[in-house]
Amino acid sequence: MITVKQLSHHFVLGKKKQETTLSVLQDISIQVNKGEIVTIVGKSGSGKSTLLNLISGFIRPTEGEIWINDQKVSNFSEAEFADFRLKHMGFIFQSFQLIPSMTAFQNIELPLILNGESESSRKEITLAILDKVGLKEFADHYPSELSGGQQQRVSIARALVLKPPLILADEPTGSLDSETETELLQFIKELNQEMGITFLIITHDDEVAAIGDRTITISDGCIVEGVKSR
Amino acid sequence: MKIKDQFRFVRQNIKKNKVRTGMTILATAMGCTFLIVLASVGYGLQESIVKDTLEQQIVTEIDVYGHISEDGNYRPLTMEDIDVLESIDNVNAVTRRNELRQFPTFSLDEYKSETTTVAAHFPSEIASGMELDEGRLPEKPNEVVVGYHFLDYFVLDVEDENIYDETNGEIKEEYLYQADLIGKTLDMTVRKDEMTDDNEHSIPLTVVGILKEPTREWMQDQKVYISSDVFADVEAYTGTPGGELGVDVNALESTAADSFDNVKVYATNLEAVQAIVDELDDGNYASYSVVSEMKQINMLFTIMKTGLILVGTIAILIASIGIYNTMTMAVTERAPDIGIMKAIGAHPKTIKQIFLLESSYIGIIGALIGTVVAYVVSFLVNLGLPLIIEFAFKEELPEQLQFSMIPVSLVLIAVGICLLVTILSGLRPAKRATQIDVLKAMRREI
């Protein structure tokens, strides 16, 4: 599903003509198979979020290749990556990233709108997914009217609505209490098992890391430990 | 993303900032109103002047003054030229007239009148639209027709009596000839310069018809239309071309004029006039038609209207600064939302389209409101300005004078300019929206 080959990345910091280079990832190579839940752990600043952002196409790698679904996405233009993200990827963010002026229904409907679905089809799909995440009665609620767990469920529903084969999650339980975290992790496992969705999860939480089929540890931009398989 | 959904997005976004968007729309509407009202003055005055010009002239009439020879001299038109003119395509008639260069006295019993006398070619006059009010056309050399107003000046020959009505300045009815003139014989008395008793010559002419009243209200036709034979008689008597007085007969090479004073070409329709004028130009005939005048008037007003539209566009350009500002603020405010949309797969083109649509929306709504207001202002200007001018300058304006006119073409131009300017002013903010960094936007760093 995902193949990362000798990926390196550095950021250029500072004012013009006084730039300094900060190396974040060095020679990373990983493989994520279809239907797996892979977790990436590491301390803050280890480079795990940068790795996810590179795979997501939010930033361009300095060196190396990223392949997703047999497509070399590291060469994609911004527009190509946007289309690819819409059709092949779902995202779950730590801070949910819901649009505050849109209701739960509208937030979940957004990828369908971007994909050009008809209004009737959008309504049907969105209501079904709201039902699946147990928020049907909260369809017309704005994010500010929902709890953290509910917001994250909306976020997951939005990530799932176009049935992508891959979901990238960046600290998905970072803003949740432990009870909600357990519920959410259970839900992720169900999705993985029922729908065969591949998950790549960034976390520094051992409990989250534990749901993965494999865990990759990154430290100072390098894979420091071999892959732990369960 | 479907265009319908993009519109829904735009409407939602506009609703979020009703006041700011409303003020921007207001500024655009004011700019659009200013442009339309300003240019409408050009359109209104053009319409009034064109209407006035067309009302004063027969549109299919072309005056031909003469032939310009290679050395640049004018030559009066002769019968040969008439044949050439008649052979041009779409020419309905070529009238030719010679006017007596003195005012003969026409008398019948105790009534008399001194008036313009014209030798006309009646078949061409009829073809050009001359119509009889009563009687028939002349068939014999000594038969004449008179203009519709001839009788208004055919008065009793009295001395020491005030024949004019002091209230309206017209001749009192009791002094005018009241009987039927058709079939009556008028004596046309012409003069020559010799200081002898025999310096007057009388020619009896029978009135066989009276022409119809001219279509223009202000025109008076009191002419007597004689035959070319009678005209030749007068020339033979006076020994001068057209019976002109005050000319040294001995100095003239020829006593008779074989040319025409007044030649008019009538086209079959207005559209054919320009082609005929062009052909006359090619044949070195000096001509004038209302179409030539229209061309000049229209050219002048096109320049004027273009200038006014350009000045009006400045107002829209000023409004566009507001649109640019509104859109830039909208992009900044919505940066996190844009970041989220981009993260989940919104195409940069879609983001750009949404913002361009939003600025166009402001432009279109502004232009529509501006157009409606412009029509109201135009109506008020046409209604109020004549009253103000009359009150302030004590001058009465022509009844048909229109200060402001808004044709559909002007509305389309204004809406087009408005739309173009608003799209252009939304272009940069829209581009900025597509360049928003997803990660920075989601971290609310923009």
Q: How many CA atoms lie within 13 A of B157 on its CB side?
A: 10
- pLDDT band at A229; cut points 50, 70, 90: low
Residue A146 near residue A138 (C-beta atoms within 8 A): yes
Spell out which residues of chain B touch residue A126, defining contact as CB-CB under 8 Å: none
Which amino acid, residue A29?
S
B337 and A114 in contact by Cβ < 8 A? Answer: no
Residue B48 near residue B401 (C-beta atoms within 8 A): yes
Tens-digit pLDDT profile for residues B113-147: 999 999 998 889 888 888 889 999 888 889 999 99
Token pair of B282, please? 């090619």
Tens-digit pLDDT profile for residues B203-237: 999 999 999 988 777 788 899 999 988 998 998 88
Residue of B nearest to A54 (CA): B439
pLDDT value at residue B146: 93
- pLDDT band at B351; cut points 50, 70, 90: very high
Domain residue limits at A147: 2-229
What's the rounded Cα separation, in Å, for the pair B218 and B57? 12
Measuring CA to CA, which residue among B303, B262, B230 is closest to residue B61?
B262
Average pLDDT of chain A, as a whole number:
88
Interface pTM (ipTM) of the complex? 0.91
pLDDT value at residue B254: 56
Contact status of B3 with chain A (Cβ, < 8 Å): no
Residues of chain B by 3-state class (helix, strand, coil), percent to 5: 55, 20, 30
User: Which of B2, B16, B347 has its CB closest to that of A82?
Assistant: B347
User: Considering its fold, how many domains does chain A have in total?
Assistant: 1
- B30 pLDDT higher than 90: yes
Token pair of A17, please? 């003509």
Lowest-confidence segment of A155-169, B75-89, B392-406, B423-437 by average pLDDT: B392-406
pLDDT value at residue A143: 93
Residue of A nearest to B444 (CA): A97
Q: Burial of B213 by CB count in 10 Å (0-12 exposed, 13-18 middle, 19+ buried)?
A: middle
Instruction: Measure CA B426 to chain center.
Output: 42
What's the rounded Cα separation, in Å, for the pair B265 and A32? 94
Q: Average of pLDDT values for B420-434? A: 92
Q: Average of pLDDT values for A47-72? A: 90
Which residue blocks in B178-289 are alpha helix, DSSP H?
228-238, 270-282
Measuring CA to CA, which residue among B186, B188, B201 is closest to residue B105?
B188
DSSP secondary structure string for all residues of B395-440: -PPPTT--S----HHHHHHHHHHHHHHHHHHHHHHHHHHHT--HHH
Residues forming a β-bridge with A219? A222
What's the rounded Cα separation, in Å, for the pair B174 and B152? 11
Tens-digit pLDDT profile for residues A165-193: 999 999 888 777 888 888 888 888 888 88
pLDDT value at residue B6: 87
User: Which of B5, B339, B439 has its CB closest to that of A53?
Assistant: B439
A85 and B349 in contact by Cβ < 8 A? Answer: no
CATH of the domain at A153: 3.40.50.300
- B247 pLDDT higher than 80: no
Percentage of chain A exceeding pLDDT 90:
40
Token pair of B377, please? 């202002």
Tens-digit pLDDT profile for residues B91-114: 999 999 999 989 999 998 888 899
SS3 B130: coil
SS3 B26: helix
Q: How many CB pairs under 8 A join A and B?
A: 62
B344 and A56 in contact by Cβ < 8 A? Answer: no
Å between A154 CA and nearest CA of chain B: 14
- A12 pLDDT higher than 90: no
Å between B15 CA and nearest CA of chain A: 11
A86 and B345 in contact by Cβ < 8 A? Answer: yes
What's the rounded Cα separation, in Å, for the pair A69 and B46? 70
- Total count of residues recorded for chain A: 230
- pLDDT band at A225; cut points 50, 70, 90: low
Which residue blocks in A18-161 are alpha helix, DSSP H?
48-56, 78-88, 104-114, 119-132, 148-160
Q: Which residues of A touch B (CB under 8 A)?
A: 53, 56, 58-59, 78-79, 82-87, 89, 91, 93, 95, 97-99, 101, 110-111, 113-116, 158-159
